C-alpha cells in the first residue's frame, strides 16, 4: 500500500505525471484487499448515478464565483435624465412665471378696483390679457435667446474648424495640453491627441467640448424651448383665473387657489431635482406671496389715490 508521504513526494513541481497521480480517477483501482468488498450495511458509493463524496473538488470553481453583495454593481450602469434638451428649464420657468405673474396682476388690479360681482369681468379681462401677453412674450424671448446662443456657438465652432484645417499641429498640442491638465501622462496625452486628430470631425467635436464646454451636435432646440414656455406659462397663468371663470367674485378665492398651486408646483419641481418637497414648496409659496402682496399694495394705493382725486 502506498503511504501518504510517498504520494506527496511523487507530486513534484513541474511534474505532470505526479500531478495526475495525486488526483484519483474512476479507472484507478482502489488499493488494499478490503477496498474490493463493501462494508455490510453501508451504501454502495460506486453505484451508478451517484458521485463519490470522498473525491476532492476543484478549488478553482469556488474561487471563480464573484462575491455576492446587496449593493448594485457599477456594471449594471445608470441612466441620467436629459439636462441639455432645452425643455425643462423653460417649462419650469414658464409655469411658475405664469402663475406668479397672473396672480400678482389680478391682485394688483383687484386691490385698485376692489372685488365683488361688479368687478369680476374686469379681473377676468385682466387675467386673460396677462395670460396671452405673458405666454407669447415668454415664447418669443426663449426662441430668440436659444437661437442667439446656438448661433454664437456655431460661430465659435466655425472658428475652431478653421484652426484645425490651417493649424493642425498647434491644435494637436493644445489638445494634448488639455489631456495633461486632466492628469494624463505627457506621452499618453500626446499619443491620444495624435490619434484623435486623424479624424477631423471627432477632433472638432472634442476640441469644442473641451474649449467651449458644449457639444455642438446636441444643442437645445429654440422651437422646443419656445413651445414649452408658451404652453407652460399659459397653464400657470390660467390657474388664478379659474375661480373667477367658475363664478367666484372674491379676490381671496383667487389668492387661495394660487397659493395652493404655488405650494404644489414648488414641491413638484423640488422632487424632480431630488430635493425635499417641503423646502421647494415653501420657497415657491413665499416668493409668490411676496410678489402678489407688493402688487396688491400698489393697486390699493393707486386705487385710493385715484378715487380721492
Least confident among 105-114, 124-133, 146-155: 105-114
Chain segment 74-105, per-residue pLDDT in tens: 445 555 555 555 567 778 888 999 999 999 99
- 269 belongs to a structural domain: yes
pLDDT band at 151 (very low <50, low <70, confident <90, very high): very high
Q: What totals of helices (H) and strands (E) does the chain contain, helices first? A: 12, 0
Chain segment 245-263, per-residue pLDDT in tens: 998 888 899 999 999 999 9
Chain segment 209-243, per-residue pLDDT in tens: 888 888 888 888 999 999 999 999 999 999 999 99
- 304 belongs to a structural domain: yes
- 7 belongs to a structural domain: no
Provide the residue range defining the domain that includes 173.
88-308
Structurally, the chain folds into a number of domains equal to 1
Chain segment 49-77, per-residue pLDDT in tens: 444 444 444 444 444 444 444 444 444 55
Average of per-residue pLDDT across 263-275: 88
Question: How many of the other CB atoms lie within 10 Å of CB of 65?
Answer: 7
- 37 belongs to a structural domain: no
Q: How far apart are CA 193 and CA 188, in angstroms?
A: 8
Cell of 178: 488639455
- 220 belongs to a structural domain: yes
pLDDT band at 12 (very low <50, low <70, confident <90, very high): very low
Cell of 300: 390699493
- Per-residue pLDDT at 286: 95
- Per-residue pLDDT at 86: 55
- 188 belongs to a structural domain: yes
- 20 belongs to a structural domain: no
- 179 belongs to a structural domain: yes
Is the pTM for the entire model greater than 0.75? no
Handedness of CA 223, 228, 234, 237 (dihedral sign): negative
Average of per-residue pLDDT across 273-290: 92
Higher local confidence (pLDDT), 184 or 242: 242
Residue 106 and residue 97 in contact, taking contact as beta carbons nearer than 8 Å: no
Q: What is the dihedral of CA 125, 131, 137, 141, to 10 degrees?
A: 170
Amino acid at each position: 500500500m502506498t503511504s501518504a508521504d510517498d504520494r506527496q513526494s511523487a507530486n513534484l513541481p513541474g511534474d505532470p505525471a505526479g500531478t495526475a497521480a495525486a488526483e484519483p480517477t474512476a479507472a484507478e483501482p482502489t488499493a488494499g484487499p478490503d477496498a474490493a468488498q463493501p462494508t455490510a450495511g453501508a451504501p454502495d458509493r460506486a453505484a451508478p448515478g451517484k458521485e463519490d463524496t470522498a473525491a476532492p473538488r476543484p478549488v478553482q470553481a469556488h474561487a471563480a464565483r464573484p462575491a455576492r453583495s446587496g449593493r448594485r454593481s457599477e456594471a449594471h450602469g445608470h441612466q441620467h435624465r436629459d439636462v441639455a434638451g432645452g425643455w425643462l428649464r423653460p417649462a419650469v420657468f414658464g409655469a411658475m412665471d405664469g402663475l406668479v405673474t397672473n396672480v400678482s396682476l389680478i391682485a394688483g388690479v383687484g386691490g385698485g378696483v376692489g372685488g365683488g360681482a361688479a368687478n369680476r369681468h374686469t379681473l377676468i379681462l385682466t387675467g386673460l390679457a396677462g395670460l396671452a401677453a405673458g405666454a407669447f412674450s415668454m415664447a418669443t424671448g426663449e426662441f430668440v435667446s436659444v437661437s442667439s446662443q446656438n448661433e454664437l456657438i456655431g460661430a465659435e465652432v466655425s472658428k475652431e474648424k478653421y484652426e484645425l484645417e490651417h493649424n493642425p499641429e498647434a491644435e494637436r498640442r493644445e489638445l494634448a495640453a488639455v489631456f495633461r491638465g486632466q492628469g494624463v501622462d505627457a506621452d499618453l496625452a500626446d499619443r491620444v491627441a495624435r490619434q484623435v486628430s486623424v479624424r477631423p470631425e471627432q477632433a472638432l467635436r472634442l476640441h469644442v467640448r473641451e474649449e467651449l464646454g458644449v457639444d455642438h451636435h446636441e444643442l437645445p432646440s429654440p422651437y422646443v424651448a419656445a413651445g414649452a414656455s408658451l404652453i407652460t406659462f399659459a397653464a400657470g397663468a390660467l390657474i388664478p383665473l379659474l375661480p373667477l371663470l367658475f363664478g367666484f367674485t372674491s379676490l381671496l378665492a383667487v389668492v387661495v387657489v394660487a397659493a395652493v398651486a404655488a405650494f404644489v408646483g414648488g414641491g413638484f419641481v423640488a422632487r424632480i431635482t431630488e430635493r425635499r418637497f417641503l423646502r421647494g414648496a415653501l420657497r415657491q409659496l413665499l416668493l409668490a406671496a411676496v410678489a402678489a402682496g407688493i402688487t396688491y399694495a400698489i393697486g390699493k394705493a393707486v386705487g385710493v389715490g385715484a378715487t380721492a382725486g
